[in-house]
A and B are shown apart, each in its own frame.
Chain A
Amino acid sequence: MPHLISRTPRIAESGRPSGLPADKNISSSVTRVIVKTPGKQEDFMIADDTLVRQFKEELSAHFKCQVDQLVLVFMGRLLQDHDTLSQRGIMDGHTIHLVIKSKHGSRSLAQSFPNLPTNEPCHQDRNTTGNSSGVFQPARVSPTPLESALFVEPDALKVHMQDLEVGSPECIAQMLENPTIQQLLSNTDLMRQFFSEHPDMQQLMQQNPEVSHIFDNSEILWQTVELARNLAMIQEIMQIQQPAQNLENPLNSESHLGLETIPGGDNVQTLPMGQSYADFNDQMVNSSQDPFGGNLLSALLEGQVPEQIQSSSPSPSPPQEWQDQLPQLPTTQVIYTSSCGLSPITSASATSNKVNHTSRTKTDTMAQSHTCSIQQSAGVPALPSIELTQQPQAEDKDATNSLDSSGQRLEDDFQLSDEQTSSQITGTMMQLLLNNPYLAAQMMMFMSMPQVPKIFSASKWTLSRPLELGTTTPTCRYLLPQRWTPALLSTSSRDPRDSNHHTYLFTCYLPADPFDHLICLFHLF
Chain B
Amino acid sequence: MEPPNLYPVKLYVYDLSKGLARRLSPIMLGKQLEGIWHTSIVVHKDEFFFGSGGISSCPPGGTLLGPPDSVVDVGSTEVTEEIFLEYLSSLGESLFRGEAYNLFEHNCNTFSNEVAQFLTGRKIPSYITDLPSEVLSTTSGACSQDHLALHGHEQGGFEESKVPSV
Contact = CB atoms under 8 A, between A and B. Distances in A.
B160 A117 contact: yes
A428 interface: no
Contacts of B151: 129, 156, 160, 178, 180-181, 184
Interface string A121-134: 01110111100000
Contacts of A95: 117
A146 B154 contact: no
A45 interface: no
B89 A112 contact: yes
A133 B31 CA distance: 35
Contacts of A128: 150, 153
A376 to B, nearest CB: 20
A161 to B, nearest CB: 11
A136 B164 contact: no
B161 A143 contact: yes
A179 B161 contact: no
A417 to B, nearest CB: 15
Nearest to A183: B158
A116 B20 contact: no
Interface in A150-209: 150, 153, 156, 160, 163, 167-168, 170-184
B52 interface: yes
A138 B153 contact: no
Nearest to B75: A76
A400 B4 CA distance: 73
Interface stretch (A99-107, A249-257, A296-304, A510-518): A99-107
A361 B28 CA distance: 28
Contact of A109 (B29, B86, B92, B155): B86
Interface in B116-141: 117-123, 135, 139-141
A447 B17 CA distance: 8
A231 interface: no
Nearest to B58: A138
Interface in B58-93: 58, 64, 75-80, 82-83, 85-93
Interface residues of B, number: 81
A4 to B, nearest CB: 9
B45 interface: no
Contacts of A146: 158, 161
A385 B23 CA distance: 10
A500 B148 CA distance: 40
A37 interface: yes
B56 A101 contact: no
B99 A78 contact: no
Nearest to A10: B121
Interface in B22-66: 23-29, 36, 38, 51-58, 64
A76 B164 CA distance: 24
B120 A76 contact: yes
Given A170-B143, A173-B140, A382-B20, A123 B53 contact: yes
Given A12-B121, A138-B58, A382-B23, A174 B83 contact: no
A114 interface: yes
Interface stretch (A67-75, A321-329, A337-345, A362-370): A67-75
A138 B117 contact: no
Given A39-B91, A170-B140, A178-B147, A149 B54 contact: no
A59 B155 CA distance: 38
B28 to A, nearest CB: 4
A37 B89 CA distance: 12
A77 B78 contact: yes
Given A119-B92, A382-B20, 19 more contacts: A10-B122, A36-B118, A38-B91, A73-B118, A75-B121, A76-B120, A97-B117, A112-B86, A113-B166, A114-B164, A116-B92, A119-B98, A124-B52, A136-B161, A160-B150, A160-B151, A177-B21, A183-B64, A380-B20
5 smallest beta-carbon distances between A and B, as pairs: A39-B94, A123-B98, A120-B53, A180-B155, A136-B157
13 contacts: A77-B77, A78-B79, A116-B55, A117-B54, A123-B54, A136-B160, A138-B58, A138-B161, A138-B162, A149-B154, A175-B144, A180-B152, A183-B64
Interface of A: 1, 3, 10-13, 36-40, 71, 73-78, 95, 97, 99-102, 106, 108-110, 112-117, 119-120, 122-124, 126-129, 135-141, 143, 145-146, 149-150, 153, 156, 160, 163, 167-168, 170-184, 380-385, 422, 426, 447, 450
